[in-house]
Structure 1
Amino acid sequence: MVSEIAESRRNEFISIRHLGFIANGTEDMTSEAVRAWAPAYENYTLQPVQGGTRLVIDQDVPAEWAEHLGQAWPKALRLLAGLCETRAAS
């Protein structure tokens, strides 16, 4: 992916703007395939809640990736929770 941080507020919010792909070592930000979905955003909001933090994810997902991401996100979030809980215990 070719992406950039669109906005960052420490411990509150981060927005990632996806602009294209890298294929065979070359950035593609102008092809018809990329223009069909770019830019796409991935936003993470951290909300303080009693006893911890809630992570809210808002993501632009092309229809052809919805099933894959629907399966990948729960695994990724379990890994993230494990990292956060391990670090908090240290």
Structure 2
Amino acid sequence: MTETQNQRRPVSDAARARLRDAQKAEAQALRLVGAAEKVRARAQRTLEKAERSLAEAQAGLVRVSGADRAALLLDEPVGVLRTRLRQVGASSPRPE
């Protein structure tokens, strides 16, 4: 073993135990981060689904009442409503 390799290894059993404990804590923290990322992704998918549902309902109101009346009923500026519906319309599949 070279002198450099010897310097990198903990010299006592207590130091090695502390290193193992730190590595276990680090691995556990990484697992928790991974689990939290999965929860966030699931919540994001749920939010996106809710946004699509809201936009579809708003589009239905626009079809029934017209954009100006729908904006008044929703207390939204008509431009904002039209922009949102255009964005959703562009991202939703068109029936063939």
Query: What's the TM-score bracket when you normalise by the shorter of the two chains?
Result: under 0.3
**Using CA pairs below 8 Å that are at least 6 residues apart, which structure has the higher relative contact order?**
1
Larger radius of gyration: 2
Greater strand percent: which structure? 1
TM normalised by structure 1 equals: 0.27
TM normalised by structure 2 equals: 0.26
Greater helix percent: which structure? 2
